Amino acid sequence: MQRTFLALFALTLGGCASLHHVQIGEIDNRTPLTSFEVAVSETTVSLDDVKQVSSVLMNDKSSRQTNDALSFIQLFQMGYSTGTPVYNHTYVDHLRDKLFEACPSGQITGLTMIRETREYPVIKGEIVKIKGYCRKKG
Amino acid sequence: MKALLPIALLLLSGCTTLRSVSLTSVPAQRTQRIQAEREKFIFMGFNFENDHVSDVAADLRRQCPQGMISGVLTKHETVNYFLYIFWKQRVTSEAFCSGKAAANNSRPRKPSSDDAPEDEGDVL
């Protein structure tokens, strides 16, 4: 029993990767290129998961109160979303700077943009990953 | 034995969902069409990485050495099989190769050729 629980626990710690969006840009393959990868992410909490956990761990009254409080917060998160809502919308703002850090020559091509979520129980990691190619200066 | 056939058909057929589509600028010179595809089977939703996606761009590069790859149409689809026990994630990319590689690989094209672009030569 303990072994099964441990195996399941280890499986959940791995975190499932959910793919939302893929975009591949133009590739200038006329000169030698080196590949690079940059990523930004924001950790967030799934309120639906918290509700489920609270219903198991708390007594009825506390669970109901928690449920009501979280439902109130969710009123501000209505509408279409990709992945779990985050509480900081600026986490992707420095993505372009990271690209220039990875490719100092600035001659960037073949960008593959991947939007994915790393899903753990309750905690979710919203990730924007960019893989691309850099041309050397000159 | 006959009873197994509908069950097998049910298990093997899947519903496809288009998750995302993107297209880059389409070039005027569309002589060589290239395509790359990557699929990944997922059991019960357990998927721990999406690294297969980055192979698509590398595959396009291999098909167009020393050329310019543009007009890249990328589709990301999910195929869900019976009761979501198996999923298939598919990323397909179609593009046009121009430049040195396209000049080297170009061949006389018959009007009836299936793989030739229909509107080749149009100036955008």
Q: How far apart are the C-alpha atoms of B60 and B72, rounded to whole Å?
A: 10
Q: How far apart are the C-alpha atoms of B83 and B63, rounded to whole Å?
A: 38
Q: How confident is the model at residue B116 (pLDDT cuts 50, 70, 90)?
A: very low
Interface test with chain A among B17, B18, B22, by most A beta carbons within 10 Å: B22
- Tell me which chain A residues have a C-beta less than 8 angstroms from the C-beta of B69: 26-29, 110
Give me the pLDDT at residue A2, please.
64
- 3-state secondary structure (DSSP) of residue B103: helix
- Nearest Cα neighbor of A20 from B3, B73, B61, B91 is B91
Q: How far apart are the C-alpha atoms of A129 and A40, rounded to whole Å?
A: 7
- Nearest Cα neighbor of A51 from A67, A71, A74, A39 is A67
Check whether B24 has a pLDDT greater than 50.
yes
Identify which of B19, B57, B74 has the shortest CB distance to residue A27: B57
CA A127 to chain centre: 3
Q: How far apart are the C-alpha atoms of B26 and A6, rounded to whole Å?
A: 52
Q: How far apart are the C-alpha atoms of A82 and A115, rounded to whole Å?
A: 9
- Tell me which chain A residues have a C-beta less than 8 angstroms from the C-beta of B46: 11, 16
Check whether A70 has a pLDDT greater than 70.
yes
pLDDT tens for A15-33 read 799 999 999 999 999 999 9
- Cβ-contact A21, A86 below 8 angstroms: no
pLDDT average, residue stretch B33-39: 96
Give me the pLDDT at residue B13, please.
77
pLDDT tens for A89-125 read 899 999 999 999 999 988 999 999 999 999 999 999 9
Q: How far apart are the C-alpha atoms of A8 and A57, rounded to whole Å?
A: 19
pLDDT average, residue stretch B19-23: 95
Give me the pLDDT at residue A7, please.
61
Q: How far apart are the C-alpha atoms of B36 and B59, rounded to whole Å?
A: 6
Q: What is the ipTM of this complex?
A: 0.79
Q: How confident is the model at residue A6 (pLDDT cuts 50, 70, 90)?
A: low
Task: Give the number of beta-carbon pairs within 8 Å between A and B.
Answer: 85
